[in-house]
């Protein structure tokens, strides 16, 4: 049976309708908050994979319980351009200043437009970096040390003061010694021990020790100084902001 041939008008209408339909439908654009969150997560995960994970592995291999990783954003020119004397027989890496002498510090210079100061100084980025690193450590079997709240720290300090106040006072000295000092023109004024210098009481936060087996993560911005040697063999100091990530394991 022969099929009916469409008329000229029907062919024109079908062709016009086909031109109106798009060949490939483009996906709807994502909302700005969603786009920002995706970009933030992608950059943080790339930093953890490329830099932090290998450094944590080397920390364990070196047997170090505490290490600070200094992350220098790509836009901090004062720290990015600071390099040792290349003409020296044994070029030295820049020395990071401003940290305790017994603390191990690793310098990491971030590269690329995605790791500028403007991006990494945002509070939302710092908060997600902290939570992402903690999640990675917890997923690999580590137990994370949770910093006590200020209220708990104050209560603990008050209890310690109460225990000290409830301790019995030492017995008074003998009458002969007291009489001797009175005859010598001495005074019975009470001496207030201020406990200065090495006898001073440490702050509650600094005196608290991390329990054995727990891992503490601290992230903060700091002013960092790099000590380098120039072509003349003299030392020079370059300063700039950097993101300091400290990982400490309780021992």
Domain total of the chain: 1
The pLDDT score that the predictor gives to residue 251 is: 85
The pLDDT score that the predictor gives to residue 54 is: 92
CA 184, CA 92: separation in Å to the nearest integer? 67
The per-residue pLDDT for range 163-217, each reduced to its tens digit, is 666 666 655 555 545 544 454 555 555 445 455 444 445 444 555 788 998 999 9
Transcribe 125-160 into DSSP letters. Answer: HHHHHHHHHHHHHHHTTPEEPPPPPHHHHHHHHHHH
Residue 103 belongs to a domain: yes
Residue 166 belongs to a domain: no
Residue 133 belongs to a domain: yes
The per-residue pLDDT for range 64-106, each reduced to its tens digit, is 999 999 999 999 998 987 665 555 555 577 889 888 887 899 9
CB of 190 within 8 A of CB of 224? no
Residue 239 belongs to a domain: yes
Residue 121 belongs to a domain: yes
* DSSP strands (E only) in 2-155: 66-72, 95-97, 104-109, 143-144
What are residue 19's DSSP bridge partners?
none
Q: Which domain holds residue 124?
A: 33-143+209-250
Residue 201 belongs to a domain: no
Q: Is 245 left (phi over 0), alpha (psi -120 to 50) or beta?
A: beta
pTM of the full predicted structure?
Answer: 0.63
Q: Are strands 104-109 and 66-72 parallel, antiparallel or unpaired?
A: parallel
| Rg from Cα positions in the chain | 33
The per-residue pLDDT for range 101-156, each reduced to its tens digit, is 878 999 999 999 999 999 999 999 999 999 999 999 999 899 999 877 655 445 55
Highest-scoring range by mean pLDDT, 17-26, 37-46, 167-176, 183-192: 37-46
Residue 129 belongs to a domain: yes
Residue 187 belongs to a domain: no
């Amino acid at each position: 049976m022969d099929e009916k041939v469409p008329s000229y008008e029907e062919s024109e209408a079908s062709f016009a309708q086909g031109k109106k339909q798009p060949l490939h439908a483009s996906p709807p654009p994502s909302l700005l908050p969603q786009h920002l969150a995706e970009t933030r997560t992608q950059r943080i995960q790339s930093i953890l994979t490329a830099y932090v994970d290998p450094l944590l592995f080397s920390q364990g291999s070196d047997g170090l319980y505490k290490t600070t990783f200094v992350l220098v954003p790509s836009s901090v020119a004062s720290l990015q351009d600071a390099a040792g004397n290349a003409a020296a027989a044994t070029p030295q890496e820049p020395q990071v200043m401003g940290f305790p002498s017994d603390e191990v510090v690793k310098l990491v210079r971030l590269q690329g437009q995605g790791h500028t100061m403007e991006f990494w100084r945002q509070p939302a980025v710092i908060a997600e970096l902290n939570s992402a690193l903690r999640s990675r450590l917890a997923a690999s079997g580590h137990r994370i040390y949770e910093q006590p709240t200020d209220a708990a720290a104050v209560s603990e300090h008050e209890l310690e003061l109460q225990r000290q106040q409830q301790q019995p006072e030492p017995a008074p000295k003998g009458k002969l010694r007291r009489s001797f000092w009175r005859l010598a023109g001495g005074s019975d004024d009470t001496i207030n021990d201020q406990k200065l210098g090495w006898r001073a009481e440490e702050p509650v936060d600094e005196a608290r020790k991390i329990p054995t087996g727990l891992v503490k993560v601290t992230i903060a911005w700091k002013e960092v100084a790099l000590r380098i040697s120039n072509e003349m063999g003299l030392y020079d100091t370059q300063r700039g902001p950097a993101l300091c990530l400290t990982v400490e394991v309780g021992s």
